[in-house]
Structure 1
Amino acid sequence: MTTYDPASILEGLTAGQVIPYLGPAVLGLDGSTAVPSAPDTLVELITAKVTVPHKIRKNLTAAGQYIENFKHRKTLVGLLNEAFAAPPEPTALHRFLATLPLPLIVDVWYDASMAAALAGRSDFGQVQGVSRSEHFNQWVHYFHADGSAAEETEAAGWKTLLYKPLGSIAPASNFILSDSDYVEVLTEIDIQTPIPERVKEIRTGRNFLFLGCRFRNQLERTYARQIMKRSSDLHWAVLTEEPTRNELRFLAEQNIRRIDVPLGEFAQQLLGGELALQAA
């Protein structure tokens, strides 16, 4: 188990030095959730409504591509809209992060919980990855706090930028999910073209804290690696389950220190430390 100091991580968060990188498992921190909180759950939902070949029924990106090819892109988007239709329910961790002066929050799932937690503020905005099959020659779209469209130049004035690289149901149903969606991004991500300029500016010299994420497949590792590029040389990831060989190699390569405690326990340590700071 990696030795870590929750107080120093909390200090980094409150100073805006540590960037939270949220994965789907964060959704289950306060109990059950009305929207899918894992790729496996999401692919089960969409393949229960549209028949796909058995060999790809558990592969989210391949199943998405099959539906896109044989049932049209609109069918895939409709299924995703259904899957994430329930009103967002921010967890205590989402609400806690929304109180901090964080210049950047990365959220790699399709729900709108983090944006809902930030909704009481007018000084944040979103940038979301978009499918180039729907938005020709575009990589991202920007949105104000109220969900209205924004210009890229406005992002520099936001105190907090919520970066949703895979898109989000809100405010405009943007989803990067199918094989072809990822092919478009992966052909350019090594030279950083799909990464927003403002994200590149903010990440420089900062640390990342991975919460509710895994790095089991190449897509998960590639996105994390490219979003982290040119940041600090030290990061943390809360990973209770035993990492795979590829995950261990990735953690070592990126100097990500594994925090081997349950995510809920770690979140409570952060929230408890914040309460102690407020009482001091």
Structure 2
Amino acid sequence: MRAGLLADELVPYLGPGAIGLETEPPVPATPEAVAAELHKRAPAPSKIRTSMWSVAQFIESRRHRRTLQAWMAEIFAAPVAPNRLHRFLAGLPLSMLVDTWYDGALATALREGGRTDVVEIQGVTRAGEFRDIWTKAYDAAGAEVAPEAADAAKTVLYAPHGGVRPAKNFLVADSDYVEVLTEIDIQSPIPAAVKHRRTPRGFVFLGCRFHDQMLRTYARQILKRSKGPHYAVVDRERLTRNELKFLADHDIVAIDLPLGAVTDLLVG
């Protein structure tokens, strides 16, 4: 894995578990924790209480989209300091990184490393949009740029579910994903730069779980048509049957070690 990362043959794919590598993060580090934070603000029915996507939809339906966005921005307002994994990855000449959580620590690590050759592509909600738009792109300073800017960037940071910075983009409610999931099989929501850069590479899943269909669907579509090999750092005892099947179906090699131990080996 280390050799593959150093050679730009693997794409790091970070989940929320990556932010808790060194210290307790100041923001939620699981979808269930986000659901709990949203539930505090608007109590949801017990049958959906642990589902981030369903609780978010409950709030959007009863309080308005602006309220949901404001609460998500509040929940993720505290800056998350990059850890040694973020800093290690930010220092590599990688063509692409994927960050599936909302905190932005990896983007911060890239900025702190002086990287000006990075374009971040974030998934955006289509709520209130009348354009055929799935993503927005930002330069290293956080200014919005044309999607084509990603083609010339040394590194593309792909945040498929959005991010709290620079523009508070959040895909989080069930309704956010209705059109995405309708078209994701034909890859329309996947940016062209991502499709191009993944083709000759494999993926390394770090701090990820796949215990929800939404998480599996996104991972499956992002790694589609990529060359491989693929690896996932996991706690095998905690994996559900669906997670084990997902790993097997996509030839993902399970590395059954703590993320901290793997990070030590990668960083060297």
TM-score (norm 1): 0.92
Counterpart in 1 of 2:220?
225
Q: Quote the offset at 1:151 in angstroms.
A: 0.5
Paired AA for residue 171 in structure 2: I
Question: 1:248 offset after TM fit, Å?
Answer: 1.2
Amino acid paired to 1:191:
I
Equivalent position of 1:84 in the other structure: 76
Is 1:214 aligned to 2:206, yes or no?
no
Shift of 1:11: 1.2
Distance in structure 2 (CA, Å) of the matches to 1:14 and 1:135: 40
Identity over aligned pairs, percent: 49
Letter in 2 for 1:149: E
Structure 1 partner of 2:118: 124
CA distance in 2 between counterparts of 1:130 and 1:181 reads 8
Matching residue of 1:101: 93
- Which residue identity lines up with residue 259 of structure 1 in the other structure? I
1:146 alignment partner, SS class: coil
CA contact 1:20–1:209 (8 Å) conserved in 2: yes
Cα pair 1:40 1:60 within 8 Å, conserved: yes
Output the CA distance in 2 between the equivalents of 1:246 and 1:71.
Answer: 34
Partner of 1:31: 23
Q: Is the 8 A contact 1:233 1:254 kept in 2?
A: no
Encode CA deviations 1:138-186: one digit per residue, 9 max, x unaligned.
1000000000011111111111100000000000000001011111210
Instruction: Identify if the C-alpha distance between structure 1 residues 25 and 134 changes in structure 2 by more than 3 Å, giving closer, same or farther.
Output: farther
CA distance in 2, matches of 1:37, 1:241: 19
CA distance in 2, matches of 1:135, 1:249: 37
Give, in whole Å, the separation in 2 of the partners of 1:89 and 1:43: 23
Gaps of 5+ in 1: 1-8, 273-280
Partner of 2:36, secondary structure, is helix
Task: Report the Cα distance in structure 1 between the residues aligned to 2:250 and 2:46, rounded to whole angstroms.
Answer: 36
Q: Which amino acid aligns with 2:117?
A: D
Gaps of 5+ in 2: none
SS of residue paired to 1:247 = helix
Aligned to 2:170: 175
> SS state of the match for residue 175, structure 2?
helix
Equivalent residue, structure 2, for 1:52: 44
Structure 2 residue aligned with 1:150:
145
Give the number of equivalent residue pairs. Answer: 264
Corresponding position of 1:277: none
The code of the aligned residue for 2:58 comes to Y
Q: Residues 216-237 of structure 1, C-alpha deviation per residue, up to 9 Å, x if partnerless?
A: 1111111011000110142000
Contact 2:203 2:228 in 1 (8 A): no
* Alignment-derived partner of residue 13 in structure 1: 5
- Paired residue secondary structure (2:254): strand
1:268 to 245, 264, 267: 264
Larger mean Cα displacement after TM superposition, 232-241 or 73-82: 232-241
Deviations 1:245-278 (A, max 9, x none): 1111111110000000001110111112xxxxxx
Moved over 4 A (4+): none
> Which AA in structure 2 matches 1:84?
F
Q: Which moved more, 1:188-197 or 1:217-226?
A: 217-226
Identify the residue that residue 154 of structure 2 maps to in structure 1.
159
Instruction: Give me the whole-angstrom Cα distance separating, in 1, the residues matched to 2:96 and 2:263.
Output: 19
CA distance, structure 2, for counterparts of residue 208 and residue 72 of structure 1:
37
Structure 2 equivalent of residue 5 of structure 1: none
SS at match of 2:148: helix
CA RMSD, Structure 1 to Structure 2 (Å): 0.9
Cα gap change, 1:173 to 1:244, in 2 (>3 Å): same
Aligned partner of 1:245 in structure 2 is: 241
